[in-house]
Amino acid sequence: MEDQNSQRQDPTLRELLEQRICSLERRLEERIQGLEKSFQAHAVAHSREHVLQEQGNDAAKVELNRRLHDMNQMREQINVIQENSITRATYDEKHAEIERRIGNIENEQSSSKGKWSTTALAVAIGAALAGIIDLILRWIGK
C-alpha cells in the first residue's frame, strides 16, 4: 500500500506528459498569438506602404507632367526663335550688302561736298572780284 501511496503522490508518467503537453500548448498558443499580432502589424504596415507608394507615384506623375509641359513650352519658344532667326551665312551676306550701300552713300556725299565746295569757292571769288571792281570804280569816280 505504501507503494501505491508513494505512486499516487509521485506524478505518474501520464500526468507528467499531460502537464508537459499543457505547458507546450500554452507556450504554442502564446507564440501563435504573438505571431498573429506581428502579422497584423506587418499587414497594416504593408498596406500603409502601398498607400504611401501610390501617393509617391501620383506625386511623381504630377511632377513629370509639369516638367513635360515646361519642356513643351520651351520647345515652342525655341521654334518661334528659329522661325525669326537667320543663318550666319545670310547675316554675313546682308551685312556685306549694307556695308556696300553705306560706302556708296559716303562716296556720293564726298562727291557732293567737293562739288559744293568748288561752287562755294567760285561764288566767293566772284563776290570778292565784284567788291574789288566796285572799289576801283569808286576810286576812279572820285
Q: Are 11 and 19 in contact (CB under 8 A)?
A: yes
CA 104 vs. chain centroid, Å, equals 48
Kindly state the DSSP code that residue 113 receives in the 8-state scheme.
H
pTM of the prediction?
A: 0.42
Q: What is the mean pLDDT of residues 51-67?
A: 94
The tens digit of pLDDT for each residue in 106-139 reads: 787 776 666 667 777 788 888 888 888 888 888 8
